[in-house]
Chain A
Amino acid sequence: MREITYLKAINEAVDEEMARDPAVIVMGQDVKKWGAPLGEFKGLFEKYGDRVLDTGISETAMVGAAAGSAATGMRPIVHIMFGEFLGVCMSDIRCALTKTRYMTGGKTKFPATIMTYTGGGRSAAGEHSACPYGLMMATPGLKIVAPATPYDAKGLIKSAIREDNPVQVFYHVGLIFSKVISKIPEEEYTIPIGEADIKREGSDVTVVAIGLMVHRALAAADKLQEKGISIEVVDPRTLAPLDKQTIISSVGKTGKLVIMDEEPKTESASSEIAAIVAEEAFDLLKAPVKRVCAPDTPIPFSPALEKVWMPDEENLIEAVTELMG
């Protein structure tokens, strides 16, 4: 075993897959000299040359070229820098990239990976902080992963690149800048898309948390434990297809559910998870579902305001305590 950071995990995953398969290419803004703005692709251009392509600011062409090259034999990774930038090329993703397979009657596959920074906490203001999980989950044909740890990031990104379908990878800038490390095996490993992970076992309340929120939930879990409340932290890891069974099984054990999601509440990943549990596991619930989300506003710039906007440990502790009544 050895220890790696989140940034290193992304780099190793892409590097290993590029070494393994010459069809894997990287396209994006600033991917050659910078190795992407936060440096996760550093060294790849030097190693793989023409397979790392600077696109300029051109999101619709990037996604179109990803779809066209994927259909004709490549495995493109396209770096759409920030969550809100997905809006620039949304119909390219929602139609050309993800619907076309269906409309070919299954004749054509589109093995493309979109990699995108998400998340607040860095005073990046309204256009560079979003976690558009819910928005992208409403895209049939797209798989979505949002790894919370370096271990998960490496394993899931490798699977995403090998996947024969379009996969959206969301990685949180807070995790890239964090000191979070994972122990990973020396040998190669992958993590299957579509499997949740119980990050902490508990008995009183199930907390489903996504991305950076997993870490906040784990921190809250320690404090709640001191109060004698045991929470189980479930990390979906993959948002589409969602591992409903792991979530429902946990709710079966605790009877109570809080969903912690760094998105405005409306039409977020939390909406879908809450709906699934209400629809498919209502009888297991001993109390109403609670959601700890951001308010339905843009993300504010000022650190003082952003702190209020982002769900944190205290918000979760309050929700769990209330639920325990």
Chain B
Amino acid sequence: MDIGKERLLDMYRMMVRIRTFEEQLAKDFADGKIPGFLHLSVGQEANPAGMCANLRADDIITTTHRGHGHVIAKGGNRYSLAPLIAEIYGKKTGLNKGKAGSQHLSDLDVGVLVAEGIQGTALTLAVGAALTAKLKGTDQVAVAFIGDGTLNTGRFHEGMNMASAWKLPLICYVENNLYAESTSIYDSTNLTDLTDRAAAFNVPGVSIDGNDVIAVYEAAAEAVARARKGKGATFIEAKTCRQRGHFEGDPQVYRTREQRDECLKMDPIPRFRTKLIEIGAFTEQEIDRIHQEALTEVAEAVKFALESPEPSPEEVLTDVYA
């Protein structure tokens, strides 16, 4: 598949922006500047970058507590990070006025319907968005980014069944980072191949290397084309790796140092960088500049968040009802 130089660079930039964003958050959280919990997707950036590069602004995605990357990728490289960081800081200028925080960032203006902390609803709500597209006769698609652990929920089964029965333009994108919090998917299921679950719903299931953004892009392109043509849902298992704990502060007693080192070796960003240089698409300098720009962008976003006021007390009572 000829992806084109511009798109390759766009995806690289996206991965770097997500990584820089989250590394900044990790630091700020450790410094006690961020309230609540923080679930980072460091190491998984190829997934949102490759998937969302195939989506239009009017397509819909849903995500989970580990959703920063999906929101940023759906928003695109021109999407401002400042309201996101302000939200995570709990500020008035936050994307969701300080009522969502890290776990529930959403922005329907760019097609991010919800970020759900109760697993499985990311899928069932995406089914609803796909239903809207089908009933309205548009060729929009809905993508649910979920984790491997969600495969054990009832909602997963109900949502996949409904999407399949109604032939909805849905993509169930499972980032298999091996662990639901601390529990391995291979301990909590009797599966060796997660796409077996797709077979149960008579939905095409593909398993890909979720640390290779090109593989992600290609699988996503095929699934999106299927959905747009009215051919129904696709299940994608992207094998990826969560470099950090379930949440910041997780001592990760459930995996060994060696396993964590393996994970670092699979880092999708240096891997993509090497590839881009190998194929002669970009120079080291061009790529360094992307990293530099991301650092500047994130620093400015943090500055915006820090300088933003706290939400007004009366905000507690607003937005309950339309």
Q: Residues of A at under 8 Å CB distance from B?
A: 25, 50-51, 53, 55-56, 58-61, 63-74, 76, 91-92, 95-96, 100-111, 140-141, 143, 164-165
Q: A25-B135, A61-B155, A73-B132 are in contact. Are A101 and B320 (CB under 8 A)?
A: yes
A146-B129 Cα distance, complex, nearest whole Å: 29
Q: Is the beta-carbon distance between B121 and A109 smaller than 8 angstroms?
A: no
Q: Residues of B at under 8 Å CB distance from A?
A: 60, 62, 94-100, 104, 106-109, 113-114, 116-118, 120-121, 123-133, 135-136, 142, 154-155, 158-159, 161-162, 165-166, 318-322
Q: Is the beta-carbon distance between B161 and A60 smaller than 8 angstroms?
A: no
Chain B residues closer than 8 Å to A72, beta-carbon distance: 60, 113, 128-129, 132-133
CB distance from B4 to the nearest CB of A (A): 30
Chain A residues closer than 8 Å to B116, beta-carbon distance: 95-96
Chain B residues closer than 8 Å to A68, beta-carbon distance: 62, 113, 124-132, 142
Q: A68-B126, A69-B131, A72-B128 are in contact. Are A103 and B96 (CB under 8 A)?
A: yes
New A-B contacts (7) at CB < 8 Å, excluding given A60-B121, A64-B158: A60-B155, A65-B125, A69-B131, A96-B124, A103-B99, A103-B104, A105-B319
Q: Is the beta-carbon distance between B128 and A56 smaller than 8 angstroms?
A: no
A58-B207 Cα distance, complex, nearest whole Å: 27
Q: Is the beta-carbon distance between A140 and B320 smaller than 8 angstroms?
A: yes
Q: Is the beta-carbon distance between A108 and B106 smaller than 8 angstroms?
A: yes
CB distance from A272 to the nearest CB of B (A): 17
Q: Is the beta-carbon distance between A74 and B158 smaller than 8 angstroms?
A: no
Chain B residues closer than 8 Å to A109, beta-carbon distance: 322
Our pick among B106, B127, B135 for the contact of A107 (Cβ within 8 Å) is B106
Q: A61-B159, A108-B106, A141-B320 are in contact. Are A71 and B166 (CB under 8 A)?
A: no
A109-B159 Cα distance, complex, nearest whole Å: 22
Chain B residues closer than 8 Å to A111, beta-carbon distance: 322
Our pick among B60, B99, B108, B131 for the contact of A65 (Cβ within 8 Å) is B131
Q: Is the beta-carbon distance between B125 and A64 smaller than 8 angstroms?
A: yes
Q: A56-B165, A96-B121 are in contact. Are A105 and B128 (CB under 8 A)?
A: no
Q: Is the beta-carbon distance between A108 and B135 smaller than 8 angstroms?
A: no
Q: A25-B135, A64-B123, A107-B107 are in contact. Are A69 and B162 (CB under 8 A)?
A: no
* Least CB separation from B154: chain A residue: A60
A302-B94 Cα distance, complex, nearest whole Å: 57
Our pick among B133, B135, B161, B318 for the contact of A58 (Cβ within 8 Å) is B161
Q: Is the beta-carbon distance between A105 and B95 smaller than 8 angstroms?
A: yes
Q: A96-B114, A102-B320, A106-B318 are in contact. Are A66 and B128 (CB under 8 A)?
A: yes
* Least CB separation from B116: chain A residue: A96
Q: Is the beta-carbon distance between A102 and B121 smaller than 8 angstroms?
A: no
